[in-house]
Amino acid sequence: MDRGWQHSMERRDFLKFGVLTGATVTLTACEKPAQQLARFVPEEDFVPGVATWKPSLCTMCPAGCGVVVRVIDGDAEVVRKGQRGIIKMGLAKKLDGNPRYPVNRGKLCARGQAGLQRTYHPDRLRSPMRRSGSRSGEFHEIGWQEAMSEVVAKLEESSAKRPDSIRFVAGHLRGQRRELINKFLASLGTTPALQFAPLDEPVLRRANQLSFGRAALPSFDFERSNYIISFGADFLGTWNSPVSQSIGYGEMRRGRPGNRAKFVQVEQRMSQTGANADEWVPSSPGTEGLLALGLAHVLVKEGLRSGQPATAQSREAEEKLKDETFSPTTIASKTGIAASRIERLAREMAAHPPAVALIGGAALAHTNGLFNALAVNLLNMVLGTSGLPGGMFFAPGTSTVNAATTTNDPSDFVSQLLAGRLDNTEFLFLDHTNPVFGTPSGWQVSEKLKRIPFIVSFASFIDETSVLADVILPDHSPLESWLDDVPESGTSEATLALAAPAMRPLHDTRAMPDVLLEIARTLGKGTGEALPWKTFEEMLQSSYRELLRSERCDQPDGFEKLWKSVLEQGGWWDGKCQVPSGKATPLSVRVPEFVSPTFDGSEQEFPFFFQPYVSQAFLDGSLANLPWLQELPDAISTVTWGSWLEVNPKTAEKFEIRQGDLIRVRSRHGTLDVPALLNPGIAFDVVAMPMGQGHEFGRYAAGRGANPMHVVAPVQVEQVGSLAWAATRVSLSKTGQQGRLCLSSGALQEKEPEVR
Amino acid sequence: MPVLGRLAGEGTRSPLGNRLMSHHWGMAVDLDRCTGCEACVIACQAENNVPTVGEEAARRSRTMHWIRIERYYEGEFPNPRVRFRPVLCQQCDNAPCEPVCPTYASYHTSEGLNAQIYNRCIGTRYCANACPYTVRTFNFFNPAWDKPLHLQLNPDVSVRQVGVMEKCTFCVQRIKAAEIQAKAENRELREGEPTPACVQCCAPKALVFGDLNDPASEVSRLSRSPRGTKLLGELGTQPKITYLQRESWNGEDR
* Optimal mutation site among B18, B235, B249, interface A, most CBs of chain A within 10 A: B249
pLDDT at residue B14 above 80?
A: no
Q: Which of A109, A117, A638 sits opposite B37 (nearest CB)?
A: A109
> What pLDDT is recorded for position A530?
80
Contact A290, A594 (CB under 8 A): yes
* Fold (topology level) of A608-743: Barwin-like endoglucanases (2.40.40)
> What pLDDT is recorded for position A258?
86
Q: Give the DSSP letter of residue A330.
A: H
Nearest Cα residue in chain B from A88: B151
Distance of alpha carbon A497 from alpha carbon A581, whole angstroms: 22
The full set of domains in chain B, from first to last, is 25-248 (3.30.70.20)
Mean pLDDT split into 10-residue runs, chain A, 756 residues:
40 42 38 41 71 94 95 89 88 96 95 96 96 88 95 93 93 89 92 90 90 88 95 96 96 92 96 96 96 96 76 82 93 95 96 95 96 95 86 71 43 86 93 95 93 96 96 97 92 90 95 95 75 93 86 74 92 71 62 92 96 96 96 94 96 94 96 95 97 96 95 93 94 94 64 40
Q: Which residues of A535-556 are buried (b: 16+ CB within 10 A; e: fewer)?
A: ebeebbbebbeebbeeebbebe
Categorize the per-residue pLDDT at B244 as very low, low, confident or very high, splitting at 50, 70 and 90: very high
Nearest to A53 by CA among A72, A36, A25, A77: A72
Q: Give the DSSP letter of residue B118.
A: G
Do the chains contact at A106 and B254, CB–CB below 8 Å?
Answer: no
Contact A245, A411 (CB under 8 A): no
Do the chains contact at A249 and B206, CB–CB below 8 Å?
Answer: no
- Interface check for A592 against chain B (CB to CB < 8 A): the answer is no
The distance of B95 to chain A (nearest Cα, Å) reads 15
> What pLDDT is recorded for position A470?
96
- Angstrom CA distances, A433 to A254, A459, A694, stand at 40, 8, 17
Please, which residues 227-266 of chain A have a Cβ atom closer than 8 Å to chain B?
236-237, 242-243, 246-247, 249-250, 253-254, 260-262
Single pTM value for the model: 0.91
Distance of alpha carbon A5 from alpha carbon B161, whole angstroms: 10
Nearest Cα residue in chain B from A682: B77
Architecture label for domain A202-393: 3-Layer(aba) Sandwich (3.40)
> What pLDDT is recorded for position B110?
86
| Pairs of CB atoms within 8 A across A/B | 306
Distance of alpha carbon A218 from alpha carbon A41, whole angstroms: 53
Do the chains contact at B203 and A250, CB–CB below 8 Å?
Answer: yes
Nearest Cα residue in chain A from B147: A122
Q: Which of B17, B76, B119 sits opposite A31 (nearest CB)?
A: B17
Nearest Cα residue in chain B from A274: B82
Q: Kindly report, residue by residue over B83-125, the tens digit of the pLDDT.
A: 999 999 999 999 999 999 999 999 998 888 999 999 899 999 9
Nearest to B211 by CA among B45, B91, B94, B41: B91
Mean pLDDT over residues B52-79, rounded? Answer: 92
Contact B77, A680 (CB under 8 A): yes
The distance of A751 to chain B (nearest Cα, Å) reads 7
Class of the CATH domain delimited by A139-196+412-475+510-553: alpha beta
Do the chains contact at A44 and B176, CB–CB below 8 Å?
Answer: yes
Contact A378, A252 (CB under 8 A): no
Contact A151, A456 (CB under 8 A): yes
Nearest to A454 by CA among A195, A142, A153, A190: A153
Q: What is the largest CA-CA distance in chain A?
A: 88
> What pLDDT is recorded for position A307?
65
Residue ranges per domain, chain A? 11-114, 139-196+412-475+510-553, 202-393, 608-743
Q: State ipTM.
A: 0.92
- Interface check for A534 against chain B (CB to CB < 8 A): the answer is no
Which residues, 6 or more positions from A530, have their beta carbon under 8 angstroms from its beta carbon? A183, A186, A187, A520
Categorize the per-residue pLDDT at B147 as very low, low, confident or very high, splitting at 50, 70 and 90: confident
Distance of alpha carbon A351 from alpha carbon A382, whole angstroms: 14
Do the chains contact at B107 and A35, CB–CB below 8 Å?
Answer: yes
Q: Give the DSSP letter of residue A60.
A: S
> What pLDDT is recorded for position A23?
37
> What pLDDT is recorded for position A535?
94
Phi, psi dihedrals of residue A280, rounded to the nearest 5°: -115, 125
- Interface check for A660 against chain B (CB to CB < 8 A): the answer is no
Nearest to A232 by CA among A486, A597, A705, A719: A597
DSSP A111-145: HHHTTHHHHT-TTS--S-EEE-SSSSS-EEE--HH
